[in-house]
Every structure is written in structure tokens, then in C-alpha cells.
Amino acid sequence: MDMKRYSRQIVLKQIGEANQKKLLEKTILIIGLGGTGSAAAEMFSRLGVKKLILVDRDRIEITNLHRQILYDMDDLKEYKAETAAKKLQKINPDVEVEFHNSAFDSSLAYMVNSADLVFDGTDNMTTRFIINDACDKYGIPWVFTSAIEMYGEFKAIIPGKTSCYACFNSEPAELPSCEVTGVLNTVPALIASYGVNLAVKILLDYGIDGSIYFIDAFNFEINKINVERNSKCRCCHDKDYKYLGKEYSGIGKSILL
């Protein structure tokens, strides 16, 4: 491995050679290879990690191409996860890439335990509840992201330290989709950048709070709300991992950014 590839990061006081070596030992599970997930996957590959695990059942459509910057016209009708894996291996051959052309449901929850961090690239609350339950069960941190219209949000969820997704969401709800409400092509990449930056801080043990960050990309505004742990939370307090049950296996097509 040629460490010169990472020289512009290594000179940063927040990274340095020691922290770069830490990153090179990390495995990242990315669920959803749409706008945020595919951009994040490329960033993690260039950042320098040990392994990426990619999960997405969708195929590439022409309507994806305005915002899903890892793909091009030659990739139409191909699986996102498989296509992303091939491209990422060209970008950085030193990063091992594993892919799964499938939806992430409770039958795949065990995969969380193979990762040092999970990156959420979905816009499906049921899938997020599965991720949340699995991460809490196995003690794995994850980064929640969302992008729609001109807006985005992101949050670090660290079991035992921050509020979890179920602390502020009780049941899955129907969320707006890009197909209906649209999304500016800059927003998913912007949120992916913030999300990966947050992931780096988690992986390198920098201090993280439980805040949700809200971005208004069009008006260049960022706000945050601190979300405390819920003492009555089904998941992180009661350890009721209902979304890991068989009824959430084979749940069908995820909605991916």
C-alpha cells in the first residue's frame, strides 16, 4: 500500500499517520447506494478504509443519473451495489469491496456485526428501524442521513452514548420520495459529505453529541437540535428489537435516495 495516496490527509493535525492507519483498519457497511449512499461510498474509498460492504437491491435508472454521481449512461439497468463495487475497486484497489444486490431486511441484520460503522443511505423508515435495532443489539455506531427537495439532515447514533433513532421516532411513516417532491442534485452529495465527516469523527473517537443537523442547502443554513436519550425508548432502553423479527424479513423494495 502506498501511503502517499493519503498524504494530503495525513498532514492534517486531526488525522496524522496514526489516525490514517486506524481508518485503514475499518469496515463500513453502506445500506442504500443512491444519491447519498453512492457519494458516501466513493468518499470512504478515497478516504482509505479496509473494507466496504454495499447493500442495495435497485437497478440504475436514467432518473438516478442527475444526482447519483458514481453511475453513468453505460450503467443503466445494472445493479447499483454491483456497479458501485466495480467502480470503487478501480478508484482504490487497496479497499476490499463486498456487495449484495438485495434489500436490507431483518434477515441481513447480522451483517451489522461485521462493520465498525453503518452508513444509512435510505429514505425508508422501516429499514432505518431495522438498522437501528441491529446496531443497538451489536453495539455498532451508525450515521443516519436524509436528503429531499432542498433539504437534508444527518445524525450520529452511538449505542449507549447518544439517542437512537427510536428515541424520536415511534413507528414507520410514509416519507416523501424524490419521484414526487424532487431533489436538487447538490443536496445528496452535500449530506453525504457531512455524514462521512461525522463518520470519521466517530471512527477516530472524537467527541460526538446526539444532535440532529438540518441543512437548507438553497439558503445556506444549518441548524441543530440536541435529542436526548428517551428513558422509555423501546429499543435502546427496553432492548425490544422487534424489527429484527421474521415479519421484517423479505419486506420488499426499499426506497433509496
Q: What is the CATH number of the domain that holds 189?
A: 3.40.50.720
Per residue in 26-62, pLDDT (tens digit) is 999 999 999 999 999 999 999 999 999 999 999 999 9
Report yes or no: 155 and 119 within 8 Å, Cβ to Cβ.
no
Residue 13 maps to a domain: no
Predicted confidence band of residue 254 (pLDDT cuts 50, 70, 90): very low
Q: In the prediction, which pLDDT does 105 show?
A: 96
Predicted confidence band of residue 181 (pLDDT cuts 50, 70, 90): confident
Per residue in 60-109, pLDDT (tens digit) is 999 999 999 999 999 999 999 999 999 999 999 999 999 999 999 999 99
Joined together, the cell numbers standing for residue 129 give: 428501524
Q: In the prediction, which pLDDT does 171 show?
A: 77
Mean pLDDT of the chain: 94
Residue 7 maps to a domain: no
Residue 256 maps to a domain: no
Residue 80 maps to a domain: yes
Residue 8 maps to a domain: no
For the chain, the domain total comes to 1
Instruction: Provide the 10 A C-beta neighbour count for residue 43.
Output: 18
Residue 93 maps to a domain: yes
Place of cell 413507528: 171
Residue 168 maps to a domain: yes
Q: Given a cut of 70, is residue 251 above it in pLDDT?
A: no
Joined together, the cell numbers standing for residue 41 give: 461510498
- The reported pTM is 0.94
**Order of strands across the sheet that contains 142-148:** 96-100, 51-55, 27-31, 117-120, 142-148, 151-157, 211-216, 221-226
Predicted confidence band of residue 253 (pLDDT cuts 50, 70, 90): very low
Residue 147 maps to a domain: yes
Which domain, by its residues, includes 215?
23-248
| Cα 161 from Cα 228, distance rounded (Å) | 10
What backbone torsions phi and psi does residue 224 show, to the nearest 5 degrees? -140, 150
Q: In the prediction, which pLDDT does 176 show?
A: 59
Helix or strand or coil: residue 91?
A: helix
Predicted confidence band of residue 214 (pLDDT cuts 50, 70, 90): very high
Length reported for the chain: 257
Report yes or no: 57 and 103 within 8 Å, Cβ to Cβ.
yes
Instruction: Report CA 87 to chain centroid distance, whole Å.
Output: 18
Burial 187-214 (b: 16+ CB within 10 A, else e): bbbbbbebbbebbbebbbeeebebbbbb
Helix or strand or coil: residue 158?
A: coil
Report yes or no: 257 and 121 within 8 Å, Cβ to Cβ.
yes
Amino acid of residue 45: S
Q: In the prediction, which pLDDT does 177 show?
A: 64
